[in-house]
Amino acid sequence: MSDPDRHTLVLRYADVGIATYASLRIVGQPSRTVAWVIEEPILLTALEELTDALPEPHGAETRRDAIERALTTGPWATTETELTLAYILGVLLIGSPGWQLLVACLASPRAVLFVSPSARLARVPWGLLAVPKSGPSNEELVRARQDAITASGRKAARIPWQLADIDEHTDGHRLIELVDVLMAVPPNIVHAPRTPAGWNRRRDGPALLVLDPRVPGQRPDSALGSVLGRPSAQTPLAQHFAETTTQRTVLPATGEVVELFRRQDADRGWLATQLAQHPSRLFYVGHASSADIDSGQASRADRAAIHLACTAKSHGDADPIGDHRPLTASDLMSLRLPMPPRVALLACGSGGDYQFDEATGLVAAMILSGAQLVTATLWSLPTTAAYRRFAAAGDDKADPMADVVIAVDRAHEDTEAGCAVNRWQRAQLRRWREGDLAASPLYWGALVTFAVDGAR
Per-residue pLDDT reduced to its tens digit, 211-245: 999 999 999 888 899 999 889 999 999 999 999 99
Judgement on whether residues 209 and 131 belong to the same structural domain of the protein: no
Judgement on whether residues 38 and 99 belong to the same structural domain of the protein: yes
The last residue of a domain, from among 131, 152, 184: 184
Judgement on whether residues 263 and 327 belong to the same structural domain of the protein: yes
Contact 366, 328 (CB under 8 A): no
| pLDDT score, position 151 | 85
Judgement on whether residues 178 and 246 belong to the same structural domain of the protein: no
Judgement on whether residues 239 and 369 belong to the same structural domain of the protein: yes
Angle between helices 236-247 and 400-411 (to 10 degrees): 10
Distance in angstroms (rounded) separating the CA atoms of residues 119 and 354: 5
Judgement on whether residues 194 and 180 belong to the same structural domain of the protein: no
Judgement on whether residues 393 and 410 belong to the same structural domain of the protein: yes
Judgement on whether residues 236 and 126 belong to the same structural domain of the protein: no
CB proximity list for 201: less than 8 A, separation 6 or greater? none
Judgement on whether residues 307 and 326 belong to the same structural domain of the protein: yes
Q: How far is CA 263 from the centre of its chain?
A: 25
Is residue 378 assigned to a domain? yes
Among 449, 405, 381, 411, CA closest to 209 = 405
Please give the residue range of the domain that contains residue 51: 8-184
| pLDDT score, position 383 | 86
Among 135, 202, 179, 243, CA closest to 339 = 202
The last residue of a domain, from among 146, 169, 184: 184
The pTM assigned to this predicted structure is 0.95
**263 — phi, psi (to 5°)?**
-70, 140
CB proximity list for 16: less than 8 A, separation 6 or greater? none
Is residue 1 assigned to a domain? no
Judgement on whether residues 71 and 176 belong to the same structural domain of the protein: yes
DSSP per residue over 37-71, as a string? Answer: EEEHHHHHHHHHHHHTTSSS--TT--HHHHHHHHH
Domain count for the chain: 2
Is residue 3 assigned to a domain? no
Neighbours of 347 (CB within 10 A): 23
Is residue 102 assigned to a domain? yes
Judgement on whether residues 279 and 393 belong to the same structural domain of the protein: yes
CB proximity list for 353: less than 8 A, separation 6 or greater? 122, 186, 301, 304, 359, 360, 361, 362, 363, 364, 450
Is residue 17 assigned to a domain? yes
DSSP 197: -
The last residue of a domain, from among 167, 184, 201: 184
CB proximity list for 102: less than 8 A, separation 6 or greater? 9, 24, 94, 113, 131, 175, 178, 179
Is residue 2 assigned to a domain? no
Is residue 354 assigned to a domain? yes
Judgement on whether residues 104 and 154 belong to the same structural domain of the protein: yes
pLDDT tens, position by position, 136-173:
998 999 999 999 998 888 999 999 998 989 999 999 99
β-bridge pairing 29-39 and 250-251: unpaired
Which residues in the chain come in under a pLDDT of 70?
A: 1-3, 291-299, 357, 359, 393-395
| Helical ranges in 148-235 per DSSP H | 175-178, 187-190, 199-202
Is residue 456 assigned to a domain? no
